Amino acid sequence: MGEEEPNTSSANSTLGPEEVTFEKQSSLEKQPTNVPTKQATNVVVYPETDLSQGIIGWESQDDPENPQNFTDSKKWILLSLISAFTFVSPLASSMFSPAVVYMGDEFGETNSTILALSVSIYLIGYTFGPLFLAPLSEIYGRRIVLSCANWFFVVWQIGCALSKNIQTLIVCRLFAGIGGSACITLGAGVVADLFPRETRGKATSIWSMGPLIGPVVGPIAGGFLGEDVSWQWVFWLLLILGGTMQLGIEVFNKETYAPVIIKWKVAKMAKELGRTDLESAYEVGKEKLSTGQILKRSLLRPALLLIKSPIVALLCTYMSFVYGLLYLFFTTISDVFTSDYGFSVGLSGLAYLGIGLGFAAGLFIMAITNDKIVAKMTASNGGKFEPEMRMPTMIIFASIIPISFFWYGWTADKHVFWIVPIIGMFPFGVGMMGVFIPIQTYIIDCYPAYAASANAALTATRSLVGAMLPLAGTPMFDSLGLGWGNSLLGFIALIFVPVPIVFIKYGKTIREKWPVNL
């Protein structure tokens, strides 16, 4: 395999591999460098082919093979394909939730913790999958890793549907989660591959729809399927949807990771020209590593980011907290509206629309404002962009999140008319979207060369919390009640409100003081 991609450092962390450039040297003693730079006008300069020095890059700055130069229609089609599957995979995380009671009746399982585990184990797959799928995509390319993982997800739906006991179902759900985690993780890399900084906010907003809206739509469909057909049809539907989406991806998807594309080009030109001295512009001046060394370093990359970068660790902690609150919400909604409001299992899924509409509103706000705010702040900063410019709006959205816990908790506790607690979930949906999108875009801006690995750290940590925290939700609400149980979450959310201020004020200092050599 080819050598590992170029490193980023604190000085150039806002530049990705697609933005690498080098200065052509006239002396044979001088070696071209792969230090990422930009022209004074902030125009990205891409590395070009220089056969006299044995360097293979793009044919020109406008090379149509460079993913950054794809037409807008091609870019959005590719992103839409990834986003479509990114909706199906999170759909599977919660779609089974309302139907789990029917599965429990069939298998004779009454332990609430085991039943909850059969749902949340899927997110454990989200915890482990990104840690090796993301680095592999930075070695072998996005397309092949995404394709294999998506088909892996689809195949395990068959195992879930045909399970004869709960143990088999839990194992199949775990493996399905591992496969389904690819689109959640690699989407960040595809956004970095295709879109310049100026449009990444909008692109990230569209890609983020799936991971946030999928878990909301899931219980709605799953409730009616479990009630009117069978719980097995939850998985047959996921098989049909996933298989159809992946067939479309197979037809239209293209490789987008620049270093891998150039690596293929090097191999092709070396064969055509009969030269053995050709080298990728993305690997110039780098240490030559064996395949084993590349794999080892790449697979460690998400852990290195999490352990050695305080800003990544802090963002992971904050995102995990908010994500955990979402799944704690999910533990109560179905029971509240079936037990206290007399909804059927199918109708109880409609209660999730409060959060879902909040997500849609938050997504719309972020899509039309995020890039514009960054552009304005960059202009006022003398044209110099800083990733922390993604963060100011987080203060507002973080302040909105706690509202829902007090509103929903006490109105549900006092059995206020059913529409009131549903509306009470709306602020949480808006706030969560307004927190997630800036964090994910910030990570892409900081580590575009390794956006998939950086996002893997976010995905793994938040999925672990999302899987484990709901297991404690039922005992907590049984002890404190809906009112005080949700109020406790609301007070904790209030404590976290100032966290975005820390990111805005000290994020750059922390990021530059503790750079990570990837």
Please report, in tens digits, the pLDDT of each residue of the chain (518 residues total): 433 333 333 333 334 444 443 333 333 333 333 333 444 445 667 888 888 888 888 988 889 999 999 999 899 888 888 888 888 988 888 888 878 888 888 888 888 778 888 888 898 898 888 888 888 888 899 999 999 999 999 999 999 999 999 999 999 999 999 999 998 888 888 888 998 878 888 888 888 777 777 877 887 778 778 777 888 899 999 999 999 989 988 888 889 999 999 999 999 999 988 888 888 888 877 767 766 777 777 778 888 888 888 888 888 888 888 888 887 877 778 778 888 888 887 787 788 888 889 988 998 898 888 888 888 888 888 888 888 888 888 899 999 999 999 999 999 989 999 999 999 999 999 999 899 888 888 888 888 777 778 888 888 888 888 888 777 777 888 888 889 989 998 999 999 888 888 888 888 888 888 877 76
Determine the Cα–Cα distance for residues 128 and 29; give it in Å rounded to an integer.
46
Residues in the chain: 518
Q: CB-hemisphere CA count at 13 Å for 143? A: 15
Pick the closest to residue 153 from 174, 128, 127, 169 (CA basis).
174
Contact 79, 190 (CB under 8 A): yes
Contact 376, 369 (CB under 8 A): no
What three-state secondary structure class fits 402?
Answer: helix
The position carrying tokens 């990205």 is: 44
Residue 151, burial from CB neighbour count under 10 angstroms (0-12, 13-18, 19+): middle
70-255+298-513 adopts what CATH topology? Growth Hormone; Chain: A; (1.20.1250)
* pTM for the predicted model, two decimal places: 0.78
Residue 77, burial from CB neighbour count under 10 angstroms (0-12, 13-18, 19+): middle
Beta bridge partners of 55: 50, 279
CA 186 distance to own-chain centroid: 7
Determine the Cα–Cα distance for residues 370 and 442; give it in Å rounded to an integer.
11
